[in-house]
Amino acid sequence: MRSLRYSHAVTATPSPETAAAQADTRRAHRIVVAEDSGSDHERALESLSLGVGAVAFIGVALVALVVFRFESAPISGPGSVGQFSAIASAAAGILAFAAGRYVLHARQSGARRLGVLDYLDAGALAFAHGIIALLSWTLLAVILEDAFIGAEVYALPLLALSGAAASVTAYLVFYSATHMDLSLLALILAVFLIEGVLAAMLTASDPYWWRDNLSALGMTNDLSAMTFNLTLIVAGFIVTTLARYATRGIPTSHAHGIRWVRLCLILVGVFLAFVGVFPVNEFFFIHTAFASGMAVVFGVLVIRLPAWIPGIPRPFVALGWLFIAAIVVLAVFFVVRYYTLTAVELVAGILVFTWIILFIRNAAALETDINAT
């Protein structure tokens, strides 16, 4: 009997080599099942992304061949490879985003019919991706120009670099369009705002614009003013998009509270867009009303948020109150002429949009925790 028990114990405990072999067999079986089950959604999207990047490379390289006539060009500035690559990449990014959203919608079974707001959201996001590509490649070209002073790009490398810039842009933007979620949307908003405002500051025709206010960037008729105003308008569209999607899945017993939160965020986006539509030098009272209204709506949202969404984390609620206190202190500093209005507006804007981005992340965390229970 003892030998039988010993024999049973030996056969029930496989050797390390046998256990490893069985693990490899199970892993291989899972791979085969995944291949046979048709779960190739991500692989198909990755293949499409690579294809879009390849098409962008070939198309932009051919256009560069026509534009530069197989001659060398400077790195940055008018008529440069940097300028061409930035513009071509922006166009490629916009087209890639449109293609990505179309593919994603076509692959969704039973997808609802798209409405006007969906097309406006897609257009604003496509434009934001294009502007991010334009400004990013322009900035890189300027840096390289300073690093290689007086250098020119020969014809063949020029075609390769132009195509590569458009290819990388198209690949990343197509991936962004097909994997868009709230966190990625918030990141796009942050990058777009930062690059747009910085570009307006760096290209301002008046180097002392900051002595007046932040809105002075949009008062002139040059490229700087157009960049600043368009940044505000498109950012407003993105905020309204975030408002509709970020509040759609928040679990709460106060349905009216969610509607109020959504309304406040939409108002922030609409007011921000109108700040860009009405320059301060031409529509002072309208511009000031929308800018002030945005601050008021933000304050109401922060104060009422715990009542509207009871499950929101308390540290985030405290952070909102801290941001309001900081804005009030900055306003006092402006009244006593310790800070300029530009500094107050800039810091207040950073705090408001930081809060919005953090709200999106906290709302997503709340939804995840509730769904996991």
| String of DSSP letters for 221-265 | SSHHHHHHHHHHHHHHHHHHHHHHHHTTS---S-HHHHHHHHHHH
Whether the model pTM is above 0.85: no
Task: Tell the residue number behind the tokens 């899972």, with chain if given.
Answer: 30
pLDDT over 70 at 107, yes or no = yes
Please state which of the ranges 158-167, 250-259, 278-287 shows the lowest mean pLDDT: 250-259
Residue 5 pLDDT more than 70? Answer: no
Mean pLDDT of the chain: 81
C-alpha count within 13 angstroms, C-beta hemisphere, residue 24:
6
Highest-confidence segment of 21-35, 121-135, 199-213, 239-253: 121-135
- Distance between CA atoms of 246 and 239, rounded to whole angstroms? 10
Q: Extract the tokens encoding 275.
A: 């700040």
Whether 149 and 91 have beta carbons less than 8 Å apart is answered as no
In sequence order, the 6+-apart residues with CB closer than 8 A to the CB of 62 are none
Residue 22's H or E segment, with its range, is: helix 16-36
Give the C-alpha separation, 144 to 125, whole Å.
29
pLDDT surpasses 80 at 212: no
Rounded to the nearest 10°, the torsion over CA 289, 264, 364, 108 is: -100
Region of poorest pLDDT, from 34-48, 78-92, 238-252, 324-338: 34-48
For residue 153, give the 3-state DSSP assignment: strand
Confidence band of 18 (pLDDT split at 50, 70, 90): low
Q: Is the dihedral of CA 193, 132, 84, 142 positive or negative?
A: positive
Q: Would you say residue 16 has pLDDT above 60?
A: no
The pLDDT, as a whole number, for residue 372 is 64
Is residue 66 predicted with pLDDT exceeding 50? yes
